[in-house]
A and B are shown apart, each in its own frame.
Chain A
Amino acid sequence: MCTVCGCGDTAVFDGKRREELLPFGHVLARAPAKHSNGHSHDHGHDHFHDHSHSHPHDHTHHYGLGAAGVSVPGLSQARLIEVETSILAKNDGLATANRRVLTALGALAVNLVSSPGSGKTTLLCKTIEMLGDAPLAVIEGDQQTSNDADRIRATGARAVQVNTGKGCHLDAQMVGHAMDDLKLPPHAYLFIENVGNLVCPAAFDLGEDAKIAILSVTEGEDKPLKYPDMFTAAKLAILNKIDLAPHCDADLDAYEANLRRVNPTIEILRVSARTGEGMAAWIGWLRAHLAAKA
């Protein structure tokens, strides 16, 4: 970047070439930047600094010898600024704002995270059915399509589809905007179905009360060990599709042991959204946590 006007042309100043061109640290005086918009900061005299400074003297004013190679009135040269800010500070601030809104409403928000294909949407449709008249809304995150939101709306529930485009996770800003659209009633359930991905969503706080990891028994007992971040961040793991366990030699105890290996405090529910087995315990979990927020 040009150090005087801030324009973004780096062609002249990268690496070795900079050293060759600028032996005295002058950025612009001897080597006018090739600005893309056709102007330069050249000026009409040469600079000579070929004497050594072995003696003290007070008769010369050298400008532009600092790291920038220039002197701009009002701007000091090299400075150290202590930042000490989390890279995700902006997201975390927005998540806190979401959480405040949810708390004021006495609403419970759960962030459903899993691999693609673990059965999140089916589980959610059954959950909505079983919750009956309870106020609830769904935020659906996917890279593309509104298929999942359409499936949720078919149950009669309100849903907002968020397409993340190239993004691999929902962030607090997307959820905040979706919450604005949904205008949640008091004491509602908010289900946030995250993008199917066991890596990135672990790090992004959305303002939810709990991350819930859904793991289907077809995925392999060692999945918690392969993706420990997500299972460490989750408060509850739902071991889904247990009706399939006998057909794929799944060892449910091994799933649980591996979940507890990465997160000693994780709660685990064994569920089949298809047959309804274990669903009552899941609905009970939701009701208890909603009641706790009242």
Chain B
Amino acid sequence: MHEMSLCEGIREIILDQARTHNFARVTVLRVEIGKFAGVEKPALAFAFDVVMQGSPAEGARLEMIDLPGQALCYDCGKSVEIDDRFALCPLCGSAKLMPQGGDEMRIKDMEVI
């Protein structure tokens, strides 16, 4: 969706971290992307390379970690893990699931030098 904006957010965070932790380069950046975050991973990888030019993360390797989708079932009241938005509750078969987790877009950590 807005992978370019996300990468601009990543860049800001990296610049902040570079000031705080005094490093020159990021070699690896690990991000966690939830199943329902709406992030297109190839688009994020492409935008990452473009947006990081001229920043400490230029040329860094981007690793994306998938996080599962989670939902609350309004019929059985349990929190369940689901693969797609229209999955039925794996416990009771209900379709009344409210997504609760899986929309994460988070920088987990980075390797720096």
Which residues of A are at the interface with B, using a C-beta cutoff of 8 A? Answer: 1, 3, 6, 8, 10, 13-14, 66-68, 72, 74-91, 167-169, 171, 199-200, 202-204, 225, 228-229, 232, 260-265
Contacts and interface: CB of A to CB of B under 8 A. Distances in A.
A81 B14 CA distance: 11
A3 B110 contact: no
Given A6-B25, A90-B9, A260-B96, 5 more contacts: A3-B25, A78-B111, A81-B21, A88-B6, A169-B2
Given A13-B59, A203-B1, A264-B98, A82 B6 contact: no
A202 B38 contact: yes
B24 interface: yes
Interface in B76-113: 85-86, 95-99, 103-113
Contacts of B104: 86
A199 B110 contact: no
Interface residues of B, number: 43
A11 B24 CA distance: 18
Interface of B: 1-2, 5-6, 9-10, 12-13, 17, 21-25, 27, 31, 36-38, 53-54, 56, 58-59, 74, 85-86, 95-99, 103-113
Given A72-B24, A86-B104, A87-B13, A81 B109 contact: yes
B35 to A, nearest CB: 12
Chain A CB count within 10 A is highest, among B1, B58, B86, for B1
